[in-house]
């Protein structure tokens, strides 16, 4: 209706402003220590165009500390964060932040809280109400606007926090574990909203343990382990560098002996088939040839690049062994 149209016009106006000035976010060699412990050890990355950048790592790897430094919630011991070539000052910039931890006031009404949060972002009440009306409808939480936060489920509290992040139509959006605790239906709803924000040419930093979600959205990635960067770059290029080295085969019959003849031993056996690490595509094709020549019914044959989850486990494991 009219609310949607007004929100669309407002968004398009901000998109035009963004198209005139090319923004960029640069994180340069930030370090944060607590006593002798280095929580972040020389993190650097740059976003020179809109899209999604992933900050990955195990628990305690330094992801949330890095995000808090970028946001100015923590000060770095050294290094810098710049936005459009200038020192990054959260108070002066258009930023939306969805924290991993719930951050609502339990005893206060949702609408009152959101109006307060939007006022902190410089939104006048009429403008804020229009934006909030749109997002209440988009996320299906209209009936909660006059309820207290403590009356909402964790998933619905997560929706309210996403509304707080999106209502000011920020240029930079930081999402720390955005799908945490969501059921599959609401996780898909969140993903659809993120896709819409990407289409609006937003800059998005995402941290998540759900590697399939990262693969769905992200181009650039950094993997942290114990504060150190263990892998960084364009995800597609990283995968291409590995090549198609993951083979899954499912047959109506035992192919263990045939695989061994090709120098292959299954690394995993599941109802979906047997998985192998291959040295070359020729090795995989040799197994296929043997299966076909023996007339064994073939159900599945998949030769692919490693998934981000497999790369993550390999890189973090390598780092832990050093």
Give the tens place of pLDDT for each residue, 105-115.
999 999 999 99
CB 82 within 8 A of CB 25: yes
Supply the pLDDT for residue 8: 54
pLDDT over 80 (residue 238)? yes
User: Where does the pLDDT of residue 156 fall: very low under 50, low under 70, confident under 90, or very high at 90 and above?
Assistant: very high
Instruction: Give Cα separations from 31 to 28, 48, 75, 282 (angstroms).
Output: 9, 22, 9, 45
Supply the pLDDT for residue 94: 85
| Phi-psi category of residue 35: left, alpha or beta, with phi > 0 → left and psi -120 to 50 → alpha | left
Mean pLDDT of the chain: 89
User: Where does the pLDDT of residue 23 fall: very low under 50, low under 70, confident under 90, or very high at 90 and above?
Assistant: low
pLDDT in tens, 294-305: 999 999 999 999
Helix axes 235-242, 308-321, angle to 10 degrees: 80
CB neighbourhood size of 151 (10 A) = 12
Supply the pLDDT for residue 18: 47
CA distance 225 to 317: 9
Of 85-89, 134-138, 241-245, the poorest mean pLDDT is in 85-89
User: Where does the pLDDT of residue 322 fall: very low under 50, low under 70, confident under 90, or very high at 90 and above?
Assistant: low
CB 34 within 8 A of CB 68: no
Under DSSP, the state recorded for 297 is: P
CB neighbourhood size of 253 (10 A) = 11
pLDDT in tens, 92-130: 778 899 988 878 999 999 999 999 999 998 899 999 999
Of the two residues 263 and 10, the one the predictor is more confident about is 263
pLDDT over 90 (residue 20)? no
Instruction: Using a pLDDT cut of 90, give the percent of the chain over it.
Output: 76
pLDDT in tens, 166-202: 999 999 999 998 998 889 999 999 999 999 999 999 9
CA distance 163 to 224: 29
Supply the pLDDT for residue 12: 54
Integer-rounded Cα radius of gyration of the chain: 24
Q: What is the pTM of this model?
A: 0.82
Among 139, 130, 129, which Cα is nearest to 98's?
139
User: Where does the pLDDT of residue 16 fall: very low under 50, low under 70, confident under 90, or very high at 90 and above?
Assistant: very low
């Amino acid at each position: 209706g009219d609310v949607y149209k007004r929100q669309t016009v407002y968004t398009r106006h901000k998109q035009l402003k963004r198209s005139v000035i090319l923004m960029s976010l640069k994180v340069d060699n930030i370090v944060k220590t607590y006593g002798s412990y280095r929580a972040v050890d020389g993190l650097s990355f740059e976003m020179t165009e809109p899209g999604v950048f992933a900050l990955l790592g195990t628990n305690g790897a330094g992801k949330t500390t890095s995000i808090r430094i970028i946001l100015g919630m923590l000060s770095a011991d050294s290094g810098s964060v710049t936005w459009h070539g200038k020192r990054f000052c959260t108070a002066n910039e258009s930023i939306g932040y969805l924290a991993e931890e719930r951050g609502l006031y339990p005893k206060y009404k949702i609408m009152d809280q959101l109006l307060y949060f939007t006022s902190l972002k410089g939104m006048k009440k009429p403008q804020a109400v229009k934006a909030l009306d749109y997002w209440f409808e988009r996320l299906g939480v209209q009936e909660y606007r006059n309820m207290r936060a403590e009356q909402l489920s964790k998933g619905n509290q997560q929706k309210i926090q996403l509304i707080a992040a999106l209502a000011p139509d920020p240029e930079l959006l930081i999402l720390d574990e955005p799908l945490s605790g969501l059921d599959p239906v609401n996780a898909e709803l969140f993903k659809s909203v993120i896709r819409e924000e990407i289409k609006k040419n937003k800059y998005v930093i995402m941290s998540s343990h759900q590697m399939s979600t990262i693969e769905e959205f992200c181009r650039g990635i950094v993997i942290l382990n114990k504060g150190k960067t263990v892998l960084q770059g364009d995800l597609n290029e990283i995968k291409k560098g590995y090549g198609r080295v993951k083979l899954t085969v499912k047959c109506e019959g035992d192919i263990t002996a045939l695989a061994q003849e090709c120098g292959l031993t299954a690394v995993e056996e599941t109802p979906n088939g047997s998985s192998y690490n291959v040295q070359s595509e020729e090795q995989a094709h040799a197994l296929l040839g043997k299966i076909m020549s023996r007339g064994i019914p073939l159900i599945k044959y998949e030769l692919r690049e490693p998934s981000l989850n497999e790369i993550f486990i390999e890189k973090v494991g390598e780092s832990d062994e050093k």
